[in-house]
Amino acid sequence: MMPLRSQLLAALMLAPILSPALAAGVPPAERSAPIPPVDSGPPIAVVPASDLAGRPVLDRRGERAGRLAHILVDPATGRIRYAMIGDVPSGSFASGDAVPVVPWARLGPIPQAHAFRLDLDRSALLEAPRIHGFASAIRPEVAAQILDFAAASGGSEPPPTLQRDLPPPPDALRLPSNPATPETVGPPVLVSANALAGVSVATQDGRPLGEIAEVLLDTASRQVAYVLVAEGGLRAPKAWLPVPVQILVPSPRGYSLAVETFWLRQVPPLQRPEPPSRIGSAWLAALYRNYGIEPYWRPG
């Protein structure tokens, strides 16, 4: 399959919409609380999205179904929604370049094999929606097929705000004018978590901040735990800043922060070269609340 950035993708960007969690806000006392060490609280296992890309996918019978090509997440909520399966064995589909899209909830890790098992048999996989290039994925009828298949297979539910019977506004679909613009698939607006490295991030007032270095996934909860931003850019990073994906909003050149830079400076940077594979739930909860977002789980 061709690299994501070399394909024709359309950006479904109406007015940027903040996540419900961000809009709801957090009490000032909780938001201003100090950030504890990164290992504070019961551990949460996280894995870089880039580490999962390319891993083998086996079907329910243990036969090769392909490889994990893209992990599609909803940036408004941080929810991991779908997986795109590439390198499907020859003869599985009528057209070799068709990429099936399946609910992420139907994938389970096989740790010892560094692979995933798809909880679908071959006949069900044949019925999965298939995409001939990402541009087709934004067509309402194709998006509806993805959502309907996810609901029918028990892996996901259509967002309640989706209105599939209404035609999209005439100005809803726009081609990215800059290669750094985050590629999206919708509706709802989805991004490929494992293809965001290098996308630019700016402050709320439009000043360049850095570039996305990695997207860390809490696969057990099917959530993006946080996004790691290289301040100053990947070539000469000054610091490694963890931010919730929910505070990133689309901009003409990539993403910008939905909160003041002041809150960014309240979080101690992480150490590199590698982000921790286990983070403390107390640290992650404090990170979210610092930015005015409730954690995606109920802290105990």
| Cα–Cα distance for residue pair 101/40, rounded to 1 Å | 37
Same domain, 135 and 148: yes
Q: How many domains does the chain have?
A: 2
Q: How far, in Å, CA of 202 to CA of 258, rounded?
A: 10
**Domain for residue 11, yes or no?**
no
- Residues ≥6 apart with Cβ < 8 Å to 125: 59, 65, 92, 100, 102, 118
Q: Answer yes or no: do 227 and 171 share one domain.
A: no
Distance CA 76, CA 57 (A): 27
- The size of the chain, in residues, is 300
Locate tokens 């359309």: which residue? 10
- Exposure of 155 in the CB half-sphere (CA atoms within 13 A): 25
Last residue of a domain, one of 194, 215, 240: 194
Are residues 226 and 297 both part of a single domain?
A: yes
Judge if 228 and 170 occupy the same domain: no
Q: Which residues of 167-179 are buried (b: 16+ CB within 10 A; e: fewer)?
A: eeeeeeeeebeee
Last residue of a domain, one of 161, 194, 227: 194
Whether pTM > 0.85 for this model: the answer is: no
CATH number, domain of 238, equals 2.30.30.240
Same domain, 236 and 130: no
- HEC sequence for the chain: CCCHHHCCCCEECCCCCCCHHHHHCCCHHHHCCCCCCCCCCCEEECEEHHHHCCCEEECCCCCEEEEEEEEEEECCCCEEEEEEEECCCCCCCCCCCCEEEEEHHHEEEEHHHCEEEECCCHHHHHCCCEECCHHHHHCHHHHHHHHHHHHHCCCCCCCCCCCCCCCCCCCCEECCCCCCCCCEECCCCEEEHHHCCCCEEECCCCCEEEEEEEEEEECCCCEEEEEEEEECCCCCCCEEEEECHHHEEEECCEEEECCCHHHHCCCCCECCCCCCCEEEHHHHHHHHHHCCCCCCCCCC
Domain boundary among 167, 194, 221: 194
Is residue 247 one of the residues assigned to a domain?
Answer: yes
User: What does the alpha-carbon distance between residue 194 and residue 217 come to, in Å, rounded to a whole number?
Assistant: 10
Are 184 and 54 part of one and the same domain? yes
pLDDT of residue 94: 42
pLDDT tens across the length of the chain (300 residues)? 333 333 322 332 222 344 545 545 677 767 888 999 999 999 999 999 999 989 999 988 888 888 998 898 888 889 998 888 888 765 554 445 667 888 898 899 888 888 999 988 777 777 777 776 554 444 545 555 666 666 666 655 443 333 333 343 333 333 333 445 555 555 567 788 888 889 999 999 999 999 999 999 999 999 999 999 999 999 999 999 999 999 998 888 889 999 999 999 999 999 877 889 999 999 999 999 999 998 988 654
In a shared domain, residues 75 and 105:
yes
Closest by Cα among 39, 97, 48 to 71? 48
Q: Which domain holds residue 257?
A: 27-46+196-300
Residue 129 φ/ψ region, left for φ over 0, alpha for ψ in the -120 to 50 degree band, beta for the rest: beta
User: What residues contact residue 64 under an 8 Å CB cut-off, 6+ apart?
Assistant: 56, 57, 58, 89
